[in-house]
Amino acid sequence: MYPDVPLIVSLLMTVLGLWLLTWSANRFVDAAAELSVRFGMPQFVIGMVVIGFGTSAPEMAVSALSAASGHSDLSLGNAYGSNIYNIAVILGVVALIKPIITRSSTSLISALLLIGVSLLSGFLVWQGGEFSRIDALISLVAFGALLPISCYLDKKAGNDSSEDAPIEAGKVRHPWLWTVIGLSLLIASSHFLVWGAVDIARSLGVSELMVGLTVVAAGTSLPELASAIVSARKGQNDFVLGNIVGSNFFNTLAVVGVSGLIRPFSCEGGYVLSRDLWTMVALSASIALFCCNFRKFKSPAVISLGKGTLWLIAFAIYLFFLFIQEQH
């Protein structure tokens, strides 16, 4: 996937990719925040549509190329695996860096939405053992129908305070341009970072399997991780959750749908439906459990360090079983 290069080049690519990832994430989030002010849109909606969908561009590119080359089935693992990583690792890491304040209503809507689209996707793949073009069209129609509904429900439930940091209008000139530039550099820098890290791992004698399960698998989610960390540090809490919800929503319906439309695929055997689907559903449900204040539903909830640690432990357990099962 990534060609071998001299070790010094790998080190330079890793350092350059990390710096560029941080710089572009800052510009991207600032531009998205400016758009939310100028258009009077809730931050969660901007986080879901602009940041969430935008940062899922690597997953879409990988799935489309895989489908075109006759490996459409890879898109399912790519989408489900990225969704698991987005919740367990990204929300977990961000909570370790800084507690995230969330709206209970938004979190509950998000959890129900993600559980619903996960079950729909799993059902379409499971019935008949093949994901046909009809199934792909159903996924894309569901994506088109549920997007405005979820945005409307969040806007209607937006009266309870999320205590986001206020955004000053006029801070970013040409926000649409900087959104495109920031996103492009975010995706490019993630590839540089993954390329360098993969080659360093090879040089150290780490197995290709372990590299694939860790560095490459996480690589397509680096834009989401960088955006979430920057959003949390700037106090834009709704951007963090919106980023994850939008990315998972996009991956589950649009990425898999486009891949199946290009070339139908079968899903017989393997662990995608028995392991990965239910892990994704359970983690989606955990958003409601961890991000809702059920005692005072109209009061904000806090994703604390303890909750972030539990997510990371859950991912470590999932990765352990993934590694064990791949050996057989």
Stretch 84-91: mean pLDDT, rounded? 92
Residue 88: both structure tokens together: 């367990």
Domain 44-170+205-326, CATH number (from 1.10.3190.10, 3.40.1370.10, 2.40.50.100, 1.20.1420.30): 1.20.1420.30
Tell me: the pLDDT tens digits for 269-285? 567 778 888 999 999 99
Question: Which tens digit of pLDDT belongs to each residue from 286-328?
Answer: 999 998 888 887 778 888 899 999 999 999 998 888 778 766 6
| pLDDT tens-digit readout, 98-147 | 888 888 888 888 899 999 999 999 899 888 677 889 999 999 999 988 88
User: DSSP characters for 201-270?
Assistant: HHHTT--HHHHIIIIIHHHTTHHHHHHHHHHHHTT-HHHHHHHHHHHHHIIIIIIHHHHHHHS-EE--SS
Residues 6+ apart with CB under 8 A from 172: 30, 31, 33, 34, 178
pLDDT in tens, 37-71: 777 777 777 777 777 777 777 667 666 766 776 65
Q: What is the pLDDT of residue 213?
A: 47
Count of beta carbons in the 10 Å neighbourhood of residue 96: 16
Which three-class secondary structure state does DSSP give residue 280?
helix
Q: CA-based diameter of the chain, in Å?
A: 57
pLDDT of residue 208: 46
Give, for 167, the enclosing helix (H) or strand (E). Answer: none
Supply the pTM of this predicted model.
Answer: 0.77
Where are the domains positioned within the chain?
44-170+205-326
| Dihedral sign for Cα atoms in the order 324, 316, 277, 243 | negative
Number of helices (H) and strands (E) in the chain: give both, helices first: 16, 4
